[in-house]
Amino acid sequence: MTKGEIMKKLTVGQFTDSLFPIIDGVGYVAQNYSYWINEKYGTAYVIGPEAPKYVETDPQIIRFPTIPIPGFAPYRCGVPQLGEFRRRLDAIDFDIVHVQSPFISASEAKRVAKRTGVPIVATFQSKYRDDFSRMFNSKMIVNGAIKNIVRFYNKVDEVWSPNEGTAATLHEYGYEKDVKIIPNGTDMRPLTDTERTERRAVIRRKHHLKDDDFVLMYVGQHRFEKNLKLVIDSLHSLGQKGCDVRAIFIGTGPDEQELKELVQSYNLDRKVIFAGVVKDRNLLQSYFSCADSLVFPSLYDMSSLTMKEAASCSVPTIVVEGSTTSDGIIDEKNGFLIQNNIESLVSKVMYMHQNRQMVKSAGQGALQSVYLSWDAIVDDVYKGYIDLIERKTGKTCSK
């Protein structure tokens, strides 16, 4: 885009199989793409599943009917053929459609793209083989499901991914074409030192934490796939070694009760706080400010939005070296790297506990190199849309 050039305002559809009130990274990506496109580059709609007892009031969020998926709550299976959903969707004159997850919403995006001839882009951002392996006790079924996913990505006009590690996973599944890297971001603005200090004090008072307590925080779904047993086992080991560390877990999930029982079995009730779901984004940022470090040892996740959220508060993250989420993390510079075992996490936390200034310095590094705003990222998203539209239609999008 050259200076002074007036570019086309786009009408974009963001298609996702998870959407608020489900707290899910893919849903957040779709909603933030939509929000910032609306702010800067045109009109965007989010297309996703209905949720029980949740009444949608935003006219630019179009929800399809759903039914429960046994054993996979809170996620639900879409039934877009029912009700008025398709009538509302087909009344929109899209310039491009963007798929954020390759399931029911993707089938609707494909239907729209085929009917209207507009380009379709799809982002790959989850380890679906892990999900299917948990759902089905059959390698044949899992392999078949992965083949269907690769078949979908092969049929779209362009595939995006938030980082190189995630793109590599899709290639491991059998996808052979190029993948464009568009990172994820956060809607949280960077806090000043004064703001961070004030917010830290408020949350610490709320949970009866002292100013010099060393606090780790986890934010996300409470599932064992997130490697959370490693965190709790390590907290137990730290206590046995006389290293006083507190932890706050934010979120919920199918394994929450078992995690709480594990905490109780280790007599860690006074050191581990389960704060539940924090839907207020301003309050969530205050919680990040309260922590000395985020701990995110997941080998399952492809791109952690919470790492960028923590970085907005100059808080670094502990990740497993070699995991997809460790992309771009330099040990002690903008985060902390561990091996996937208790001894490594315990050793790292003890080192951090004894070197608080170094932890603060790594937090500043995270602010400089891990933090990315959706405001900035959507500029590249828009350029990517324009490029794809022009290549597919052969028409220029500048006025």
Say which CATH topology domain 193-369 has: Rossmann fold (3.40.50)
Average pLDDT of the chain?
A: 94
The string of pLDDT tens digits covering residues 244-273 is 999 999 999 989 999 999 999 999 999 999
Has residue 345 got a pLDDT over 90? Answer: yes
Range(s) of the chain covered by CATH 3.40.50.2000: 10-185+374-393, 193-369
| Residue 151 predicted with pLDDT over 50 | yes
Q: How confident is the model at residue 131 (pLDDT cuts 50, 70, 90)?
A: confident
Domain 10-185+374-393 class in CATH: alpha beta
Does residue 67 carry a pLDDT above 90? no
* Mean pLDDT confidence for 143-149: 96
pLDDT at 6 over 90: no
**Rounded Cα distance, 186 and 169, in Å:** 23
Mean pLDDT of 222-228: 94
| Cβ neighbours of residue 353 closer than 8 Å, sequence gap 6 or more | 214, 243, 245
4-8 contact pairs (CB < 8 A, 24+): 5/398, 6/398, 6/399, 7/41, 7/382, 7/386, 7/397, 7/398, 7/399, 8/42, 8/95, 8/386, 8/397, 8/398, 8/399
Has residue 399 got a pLDDT over 70?
no
Beta-carbon contacts of 22 under 8 Å, excluding residues fewer than 6 positions away, are 51, 74, 75
Whole-angstrom Cα distance, residue 296 to residue 318?
6
For the chain, give the number of residues.
399
Residue 168 scores a pLDDT above 70: yes
pTM strictly above 0.85: yes
3-class secondary structure, 243: coil
Pairing of strands 214-219, 245-250: parallel
Percent of the chain with pLDDT over 90: 84
Inter-residue contact 297 to 345 (CB < 8 Å): yes
